[in-house]
């Protein structure tokens, strides 16, 4: 389904005077509003192909909306819809083998029609596939049996090849490898096997590619994880070489971890590669970004902006930005619109922090002033700047409202049927 430009324009025209009023106010309140709007226009967040359908838990899956995408083409169509509405979701991230492009050049051309590019490719060695001869029950790249490691290495190399054809330039490796019980694994050997396997995959990376090593504290293994935290990921990335980086998924930490500090130090080392956004209360809950801890999201962006500026990095292209969430009770497209909006808001808030004043307050050890500066940025309603960025790039002033007003989900149900199921977790 293609969203006609006139439906966006009609909607925006109705909302324009209210928007202009709010924009005039915020523009008078903060410095360099125009500079912030320009950065927001450039900032794009990739949508994972596996988040376009209803997610489930190990207790069950409840179909919510109907009209879920039935194949890769329809997934691209859905991301195209999101991008038409918000102009900030201009990329899609594929998970292999959940989405195998049968005809890569046709897939690439279809995505281009919607203004989309292919973000990081994701390999999958955490599930056995019907045609795989060896099992990942006891790990993949860490496995004690070299033939299982070989199978997992070959799969990753195949994913790189598919990514090259689609115009992607990064591979995200997330491993479920680890152990469920003490004594099950020799930690050192598991690390060394994993490193050797990653080295083989790294060798297959084209020069302009990056490898992201994603860590996760626990699940599905519950005693140890072989890439369990940012320290372990950084060890692998450092030993692998300059094309390897750490990827931070917000849900992959032990409770109360100071993610903003992790981000700051990884950036300092030039080893932060990418992000998976989501939110959580307890574990890897995969909830809508910004729905539980919006202040933490802002603090993370505050470090990202500060740290990227310190290294002269382009905010839009310097790191891989992606959502990684699951939608159990909401329409996935509505949830994704909310996540993108939350990310844009946190980014805009971080851009509006008075950096000079903050540095001065830090040097003067004026702790109260430091807090005031940050919280002032967090509590100022900068949403009109985000809306203005969308307006200038052809998106809707209020994407979720328009999505509902146009009955887009109902149209998708009519087109695809009520009982469709998208591949993913």
The minimum distance between CB 213 and Mn ion, in angstroms, equals: 12
Tokens 């490719």: give the residue. Answer: 121
Instruction: Find which of ligand PSV, Mn ion, none residue 425 binds, CB within 5 to 8 Å per kind.
Output: ligand PSV
The minimum distance between CB 122 and ligand PSV, in angstroms, equals: 5
Instruction: Find which of Mn ion, ligand PSV, none residue 284 binds, CB within 5 to 8 Å per kind.
Output: ligand PSV
Instruction: Copy the structure tokens of residue 52.
Output: 């376009």
Site string for Mn ion, 232-261 (x = CB under 5 A): -----------------x------------
Kindly tell me which residue out of 77, 214, 334, 341 binds ligand PSV, with binding defined by CB under 6 A: 214
**50 counts as binding ligand PSV under rule CB under 6 A:** yes
Instruction: Find which of ligand PSV, Mn ion, none residue 212 binds, CB within 5 to 8 Å per kind.
Output: none
Kindly tell me which residue out of 279, 303, 324, 331 binds ligand PSV, with binding defined by CB under 6 A: 324
SS3 sequence of the chain: CCCCHHHHHHHHHHHHHHHHHHHHHHHHHCCCHHHHHHHHHHCCCEEEHHHCCCCCECCECCCCCCCCCCCHHHHHHHHHHHHHHHCCCCEEECECCCCCCCCHHHHHHHHHHCCCEECCEECCCCCCCCCCCCCCCCCCCCCCCHHHHHHHHHHHHHHHHHHHHHCCCEEEEECCCEECCCCCCCHHHHHHHHHHHHHHHHHCCCCCCEEEEECCCCCCCCCEECCCCHHHHHHHHHHHCCCEEEEEECCCCCCCCCHHHHHHHHHHCCCEEEEEECECCCCCCCECCCCCCHHHHHHHHHHHHHHHHHCCCCCCCCCEEEECCCCCCCCHHHHHHHHHHHHHHHHHHHHCCCHHHHHHHHHCCCHHHHHHHHHHHHHCCCHHHHHHHHHHCCCCCCHHHHHHHCCHHHHHHHHHCCCCCCCCC
By beta-carbon proximity to ligand PSV, the closer residue of 54 and 352 is 54
By beta-carbon proximity to ligand PSV, the closer residue of 143 and 276 is 276
Q: Give dist(CA 308, CA 382) in Å, integer.
A: 21
The minimum distance between CB 34 and ligand PSV, in angstroms, equals: 36
Instruction: Find which of ligand PSV, Mn ion, none residue 331 binds, CB within 5 to 8 Å per kind.
Output: none
**174 counts as binding ligand PSV under rule CB under 6 A:** yes
Touching ligand PSV, residues 233-262 (CB under 6 A): 249
- Exposure on the CB side of residue 24, measured as CA atoms within 13 A: 6
Q: Give dist(CA 51, CA 57) in Å, integer.
A: 14
The minimum distance between CB 377 and ligand PSV, in angstroms, equals: 29
Touching ligand PSV, residues 61-100 (CB under 6 A): none
Q: Give dist(CA 151, CA 143) in Å, integer.
A: 11
**276 counts as binding ligand PSV under rule CB under 6 A:** yes
The minimum distance between CB 76 and ligand PSV, in angstroms, equals: 18
By beta-carbon proximity to ligand PSV, the closer residue of 251 and 307 is 251
Touching ligand PSV, residues 347-406 (CB under 6 A): none
By beta-carbon proximity to ligand PSV, the closer residue of 285 and 354 is 285
Instruction: Find which of Mn ion, ligand PSV, none residue 50 binds, CB within 5 to 8 Å per kind.
Output: ligand PSV
By beta-carbon proximity to ligand PSV, the closer residue of 174 and 191 is 174
Kindly tell me which residue out of 75, 155, 216, 253 binds ligand PSV, with binding defined by CB under 6 A: 216
Find the angle CA(185)-CA(125)-CA(183) to the nearest 5 degrees. Answer: 10
By beta-carbon proximity to Mn ion, the closer residue of 39 and 252 is 252
By beta-carbon proximity to Mn ion, the closer residue of 253 and 409 is 253
Site string for Mn ion, 263-302 (x = CB under 5 A): -------------x--------------------------
Q: Give dist(CA 121, CA 107) in Å, integer.
A: 14
**335 counts as binding ligand PSV under rule CB under 6 A:** no
The minimum distance between CB 173 and ligand PSV, in angstroms, equals: 9
By beta-carbon proximity to ligand PSV, the closer residue of 39 and 75 is 75
Q: Give dist(CA 141, CA 125) in Å, integer.
A: 8
Chain contacts with Mn ion (rule: CB under 5 A): 249, 276, 324
Chain contacts with ligand PSV (rule: CB under 6 A): 50, 122, 174, 214, 216, 249, 276, 284, 324, 425
């Amino acid at each position: 389904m293609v969203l006609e430009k006139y439906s966006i324009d009609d909607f925006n025209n109705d909302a324009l005077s209210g928007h202009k009023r709010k924009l005039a106010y915020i523009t008078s309140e903060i410095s360099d509003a125009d500079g912030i709007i320009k950065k927001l226009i450039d900032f794009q967040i990739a949508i994972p192909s596996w988040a376009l359908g209803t997610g489930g838990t190990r207790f069950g899956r409840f179909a919510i909306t109907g009209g879920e995408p039935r194949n890769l083409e329809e997934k691209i169509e859905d991301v195209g819809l999101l991008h038409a509405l918000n102009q900030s979701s201009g990329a899609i991230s594929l998970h292999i083998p959940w989405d195998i492009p049968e005809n890569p050049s046709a897939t690439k051309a279809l995505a281009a029609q919607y203004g989309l590019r292919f973000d990081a490719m994701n390999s999958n060695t955490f599930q056995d596939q019907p045609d795989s001869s060896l099992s990942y029950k006891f790990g993949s790249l860490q496995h004690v049996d070299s033939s299982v490691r070989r199978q997992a290495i070959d799969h990753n190399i195949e994913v790189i090849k598919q990514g090259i054809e689609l115009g992607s330039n990064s591979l995200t490796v997330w491993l479920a490898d680890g152990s469920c019980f003490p004594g099950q694994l020799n930690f050192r050997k598991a690390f060394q096997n994993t490193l050797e396997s990653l080295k083989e995959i790294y060798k297959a990376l084209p020069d302009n590619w990056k490898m992201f090593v994603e860590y996760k504290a626990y699940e599905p293994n519950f005693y140890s994880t072989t890439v369990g935290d940012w320290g372990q990921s950084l060890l692998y990335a450092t030993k692998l070489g300059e094309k390897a980086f750490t990827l931070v998924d917000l849900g992959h930490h032990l409770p109360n971890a100071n993610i903003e500090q992790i981000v700051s130090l990884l950036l300092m080392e030039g080893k932060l590669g990418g992000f998976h956004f989501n939110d959580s209360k307890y574990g890897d809950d995969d909830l809508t970004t910004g729905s539980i801890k919006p202040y933490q999201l802002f603090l993370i962006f505050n470090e990202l902006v500060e740290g990227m500026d310190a290294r002269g990095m382009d905010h839009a292209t310097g790191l891989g930005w992606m959502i990684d969430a699951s939608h159990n009770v909401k329409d996935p497209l509505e949830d994704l619109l909310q996540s993108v909006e939350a990310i844009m808001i946190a980014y805009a808030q971080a851009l509006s922090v008075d950096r000079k004043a903050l540095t001065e307050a830090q040097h003067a050890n004026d702790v109260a002033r430091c807090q005031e500066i940050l919280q002032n940025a967090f509590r100022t309603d900068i949403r009109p700047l985000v809306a203005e960025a969308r307006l200038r790039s052809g998106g809707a002033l209020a994407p979720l409202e328009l999505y509902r007003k146009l009955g887009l989900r109902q149209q998708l149900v009519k087109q695809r049927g009520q009982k469709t199921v998208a591949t993913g977790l």
